[in-house]
Structures are given as C-alpha cells and as structure tokens.
Amino acid sequence: MTLTELHATLDRLGPDLSAWPSTLAEPALDLISVSDAAKDLFAAATEASLRADATPAPRWEATATTAP
C-alpha cells in the first residue's frame, strides 16, 4: 500500500482498521509500522474522527407556523 492509497482508504473507511477488510488493513498496518508519514496520516485521521464523534449534533427547534 502506498501513502496515497492509505490516505484514500482512511477517507473512505475511517481510521478503525478493525472495520477494514483484511486485504486492506494488513498492508496499511505494514506501512504504518515503517513510515513516519503514514503514522502521522493515521494519527490525523484518528484525531479528526474523535473530534467528529465529540461534536454535538445541531439542535433543531420546532417553530410554530400559521397558515395564511
């Protein structure tokens, strides 16, 4: 797996490698284990995912409307 492929797969499947098919997860782990750039990319994807999970959903307030 190349760094570009790792980036694309993280964008598509997210950073939870246990949810990836093993045909993608194993090469990703191999790359992450030897490449500082891959480690940084994986860390950034993980951080972004955690931030997204922590962001509260927007609150929609019902408003009364009257028919003309």
Classify residue 28 by burial, with Cβ atoms within 10 Å: 0-12, 13-18, 19+: buried
pLDDT in tens, 8-66: 999 999 999 999 999 999 999 999 999 999 999 999 999 987 776 555 556 666 555 55
Residue 49 has what pLDDT?
77
**Domain coordinates of the chain in residue numbers?**
3-12+23-52
pTM summary value = 0.71
Q: How many Å apart are CA 48 and CA 4, to the nearest integer?
A: 18
Residue 53 has what pLDDT?
59
Q: How many Å apart are CA 14 and CA 50, to the nearest integer?
A: 11
